[in-house]
Amino acid sequence: GEPMPVLVYFHGGGFVIGDLNTHDSICRMLTHYGNVVCVSVDYRLAPEHIYPAAVEDSLAAWDWVRTHADEIGADPSRIAAGGDSAGGNLAAILGQHARDKGANLAAQLLLYPVVDFTTQYNSYVEHAQTPPISRPVLDWFWACYFGDKNWQNAEILKHPWVSPILTEDFTNLAPAFVLTAGLDPLRDEGAAYAEKLSQAGVETIYQCVLGTVHGFLRSGKLIPATHDALIAAGNFLRVRMH
């Protein structure tokens, strides 16, 4: 009978693939272990809808949850943002946007997120050919997301709505749970984002799940570490939002 905390969740898929069904298991696990309402967002995908369509949709979804929370049994004062991969990018951007609008989130879950399009991290070199997102696959995703003419445009890639790690101010952001995979090209940028948060005084939990690849959170029946990771993420929500 009481309003519940709410997680606004953005699925991964390089801004090109993925949908509500592909990531339903993640949302259900987080709902269960976090004891939250979960709003899974079906944002527009590239190449039909290039940047910034996905960002605009994520901010609109958050705004809808804020103003319609009572319709879904949610508490508008306890909203978290979460997402994996490309969805982690959207969640990080939303975290900064909410703070800047004076409506800070209660928590943020950033699961092997994309946060920096401008830097060649060591993990990009180490795992350039590691499936499922080898470097050619990543390049294809980014070309779709930004459009063939813009995907290497330095000014676009430096924008905080693209590379949230390049924001000028990390202070006063919501407490964060940042998860990376050990065999993931995106590993080091996720770690760097967690470090930026921590250095700015943001309560941050960082976990790197060794021996796992990008996208492993959708492989619960195959990779036992999936359950442990989602339980940890859910527990983080439960502690921060109840």
Q: What are phi and psi of 83, to 5 degrees?
A: 180, 160
**Of these residues, 57, 84, 116, 184, which one is catalytic?**
184
Under 8 Å between Cβ of 62 and 81: yes
**Of these residues, 85, 97, 123, 188, which one is catalytic?**
85
Assess whether 214 carries a catalytic annotation. yes
- What is the CA angle 86-90-92, rounded to 5? 110
Under 8 Å between Cβ of 4 and 75: yes
Quote the strand ranges of 37-124, DSSP E.
Answer: 37-41, 74-84, 107-111
Assess whether 11 carries a catalytic annotation. no
- What is the CA angle 81-85-89, rounded to 5? 50
Assess whether 85 carries a catalytic annotation. yes
Q: Which residues are catalytic?
A: 85, 184, 214
